[in-house]
Chain A
Amino acid sequence: MKEYKTITEVSGPLVYAEVDEPIGYDEMVEIETPSGDTKRGQILESEDGLVAIQVFEGTTGIDRNASVRFLGETLKMPVTEDLLGRVLDGSGQPIDGGPEIVPDERQDIVGAAINPYSREYPEEFIQTGVSGIDGMNTLVRGQKLPIFSSSGLPHNELALQVARQATVPEEAAEEGDEASEFAVIFGAMGITQEEANEFMEDFERTGALERSVVFMNLADDPAVERTVTPRMALTTAEYLAFEKDYHVLVILTDMTNYCEALREIGAAREEVPGRRGYPGYMYTDLAQLYERAGRIKGEEGSVTQLPILTMPGDDETHPIPDLTGYITEGQIMMDNALNSKGIEPPINVSGSLSRLMDDGIGEGLTRADHADVKDQLFAAYAEGKDLRDLVNIVGREALSELDNKYLDFADRFEDEFVDQGFDTERSIDETIEIGWDLLSMIPKAELNRIDEEMIEEHYREETPAADDEESAEELSAD
């Protein structure tokens, strides 16, 4: 392999070098610094005689005398089933002190698009055991459902709870060995060592590590490496799903750090910036990640994505959440106000949405009354929340009896339905029964979104005691 000592410019994460042979776009590069370090990079732009290289490990220590080697292939991820249980760094090297990874295959991390014709529409319910998700914004296999959060909110706890509890109820009943079928890929981008420790401790404590592959790019790792981490994670996920028949849940955190890295590279290349300095191609770039979720006709496995992003300034219209929302199939919204009320998990169910929900619930999937109960809960909760504004002005006494019922409903909905704690797991039956407990506070005639027969079957004529959480749980246990 030819070595070049032709570096002409080093700027931020980029290195420019002269070459006398054609170098392919996106191909891998190794740069050896005079002090003996080897850094890896990728071709960002290839011209006759000149290439721009983006260096993953940072450009510190690179000078004009550093030698450049072109590997002649694009970045590949060594994949094998043995990756389960392993901890890797952001560019796929093991950091858990375990044995060398012997790959079955080496797959291109860019990943080709799934032919829409070959996809299978996702409609199998995944039970996360979290009422705010299962009941109101159901996750299905093959979906990409991000968690929109902001700094200081317990999104990591929610992600861990989902990773721990996620099951596909039907199969659990039929085969009993579904645990071996489920795999979790965890891709961390720019998280702090402390957060990383929390994740690792939880994985080890619950034994979830056995069925997980962990990719760790920490806050002090080079930003450029972050652009590779999710692709490594997703390539592994696709391999496990479509070649080894696993149902893979991919958790990516934090997408905001990923986008910051994109912006950094864009700025270093002096590109024309789009909104708020993020590159104009960020939509395409994010789509190439998020769209790597789904099911394929004739394949057993599936890739489900749960990316986490913190909204800068809690602003939903910021380009990162905005573009994400346009690509993903809904979002789970975390809420500051609920968090300060002590609701765990603080999911704002009315701001959340699961686009694939309607096809994933109902008779044979969850329960026949699920859709109607969900619609009614949404409507009643919205009504109650609206009235809260009014109460602040006129006081409770000025409201009608019905309005007061809606107000109580909204409070109890948050306290009993949404607030379940990070360690409680609820079956979908329990979730829907709690829904009925709450709806029974409201007069039957108001339940205009539920089929009359279902009201007859489930409506509780005697409203259970409002203040006691235990009684609600008791009722729902049957």
Chain B
Amino acid sequence: MSIGSVVGFTAVVFASLLRGDPWPWPLDFLPHPAWTPALAVFAVLALGAVIGLINGCLVTKLHLQPFVVTLCGLFIYRGAARWFADDKVRGLGVEFETMRYILYGNRIFLGLPMSLVILLLLAAVATVFLHLSVYGRYFFAIGSNERAAAYSGIVTDRYKILAYTLCSTLAAAFGILYLAQENSVQPSSTGNFLELYAIGGAVLGGCSLRGGEGTVVGILIGTAILWVLPNLSNMLGIRSQLEHTVIGAALLAGAILDEWLHRPGPSLFDPLKKLLGRTNPS
């Protein structure tokens, strides 16, 4: 729930570090040199990791409900972003062209936009991690049945913390890319609702919110659809004010379809299934 705020916060921190902006109160007495891009990227990723680590520990060690912890994070890191930037828009202006070119420059690699290259790279790493490594298998097992995983000797707490840490680190990476692309961060709104887009994209791509199901490819497709939908509806002549409604309706349709295809036994859809010539498995 908190990744949108984490994106906003890390983007603000990234911009401030690069420009050497003064630290916010009460740290404003500290020296504030401009950081080199490499160091700043590393520091911001580490910040994301620490945020995830905290969330993960709160969930596993203090047994707090994940939703509550991340909801609190949503508020806390949004506030932190506004505090860090003194509620002012942060950007890089005309500086750091090279870094921005590397992170965002168009068609520098095999004729592909850099953001796509990074996306594919991350997707490849995620695929290896989730679908080919032991850790990924543990994630799926924990997602499907945490108790059975624990009874099988998997140290579930460790992998849950790892999941939170990865999630927030990736959110920080997005914050960096966001700044490189847009060159301007609005501390009070950058990243708003991103968590909901992330969940929506995952669900649309076949992940189960109960856990233990989903593929990287599915998530890529789901997220892509989610981003393309507003454009699509625009082109179809639907007013842009309705863009969120279109997204919501698409998700709802997906959820209903999923329920229909998966739920055994009699259901509301039986007449429809009969119409389509599908028989119930049970």
Asked if A pairs with B, the answer is no
B residues sitting closer than 8 Å to A (CB atoms) are none
